[in-house]
Amino acid sequence: MPHIWIEYSGNLELDTRTLMQTVQSAAVGDGSLFPLVGARTRALRVDDSLIVDGHPDNAFVHVVLRIGHGRNAEQKAALGERVFQALTRALAPQMAARPLGISMQIEEADPVLNYKQNNYREHLAARAAEAAARLPRTVVGVALNTRQALAALGNAVDAAPYKAAPKAPLLYIKPANTYAQDGAVITLPADVEAVEVGACLGVVFARRATRVSEADALGYVAGYRVVADLSVPHASYFRPALKQKCRDGFCPMSRGLVPAAAVADPDSLDIEVLVDGKAAQRASTADLIRPVARLIADVTEFMSFEAGDMLLAGAPHGAPQVRAGQRYDIRIAQVGTLGNLLAAGHA
């Protein structure tokens, strides 16, 4: 076996010869701790590009030194510090340009000495900030995700066309034509007298999410937005409600992204809707049938989300109806506010 083993991820381009020489020179030093005679190095590229810390862009370099017996603890520690400093200096340009983890292990030491450094969290924060700065590529909504909404169907849930309570999330898309900002005036189509204002918690993804487990789901969340899921009142969830939910401007969203770390529990947030300054609805995300993590797990079982994409957790039952000339405001605790004035369209 080689005395110096360097393993690195396949998504990283390295000048391995120069890196091996750097590590070997630092390890050998003056020859007193790691004699030059017999020293060997080997570098191995892990071609399957291991997904490090949950993101395929993250890269890593791992070094193992086998130093043999006969050195005391102080000598081993001095060797480790010297080599790891040389390693981090050599990889500084890579770390400045991309997410990178550097680790080193000294074997034949008791205890085994380990050294680690990475910038994964910094790049995760940068990805989250980038996601917050742009409009989502995709917004996916879910219907009937509150206990009250399902209960309101009563016995009808067992009759045609439903025939049973939903066994999976009932999803719909809010395409880009529906996007609008906080404070914008939303013009109602000429054939629409009033809209239902679904006050939704918008869950924004920090990175690609595919087949995510419920236990890991919140780790994929960059943050949260307040979203108004506007729709023309309709009674059936059986047919896709494109004409009711996908009109221009029917998905206003708050401008800022509240970081996930700032929201202690997304499943325990108070929601309030005001119409012309008067309380019209009070609810809570505690009423969700599928809490946020479970919803993410269920939906990513069959579709993927990218950084910046948004999943709506579900509107409370009994969404207030608002007409042209009125203003609604939505408040979600710990997340923020969203308000828009509605205007009448022309025939």
User: Annotated catalytic sites, by residue?
Assistant: 2
* Structure-token pair, residue 325: 């000339």
Which alpha helices (DSSP H) does the chain contain, by range?
16-28, 73-90, 92-97, 120-133, 147-153, 242-245, 292-300
Question: What are the angstrom distances between the C-alpha of 200 and each of 127, 173, 250, 267?
Answer: 23, 14, 13, 12
Q: C-alpha angle with apex 91: 90 to 97, nearest 5 degrees? A: 140
Nearest to 323 by CA among 234, 198, 196, 182: 196
In the chain the beta strands, taken as DSSP E runs, fall at: 4-9, 41-46, 59-66, 100-107, 113-118, 139-143, 170-173, 179-181, 185-187, 194-205, 221-231, 251-253, 258-259, 270-275, 278-284, 310-312, 321-323, 327-332, 336-343
At 145, is the secondary structure helix, strand, or coil?
coil
